[in-house]
Structure 1
Amino acid sequence: MNRTDRIYAIVEELRAIAPRPRSATWLAHRFEVSTRTVERDISALSRPGCRCGRSRGEPAATASTRR
């Protein structure tokens, strides 16, 4: 899976369980990448205004379904 497809899949995964968080470790296992890769993907999503975030100190990500 390339990066663009993975980022899109992460967003869809987070929206499906919103507002509950999903750990970066869980996402890494799901997409067969490292936790650091997931963290970079979440960081990239946060820049252009995607409503997903990460709690500092907690390896989790969430997404808002509101626009």
Structure 2
Amino acid sequence: MQAQDPAQIAHLLAELRQEHRDLDVAIQQMATSIGCDELQITRMKKRKLLLKDAIARLESKLIPDLDA
């Protein structure tokens, strides 16, 4: 889905930020548990980085282009 409307982008940003926060909490909980699955934690961290990149791209779409 290519969101071009600023309202759609803002909504998608909110969803991605929430997922990013949720992953952060889940990673912290898994890391402190006994017998944690390191492979699962690694996958979650990778997903978290992908979300961070997607958030940055969407945030840049919200910044208006200024002609120099």
Which band: TM-score by shorter chain?
0.3 to 0.5
More strand by share: 1
TM-score normalized with structure 1 length: 0.33
Higher Rg of the two aligned structures:
2
TM-score normalized with structure 2 length: 0.32
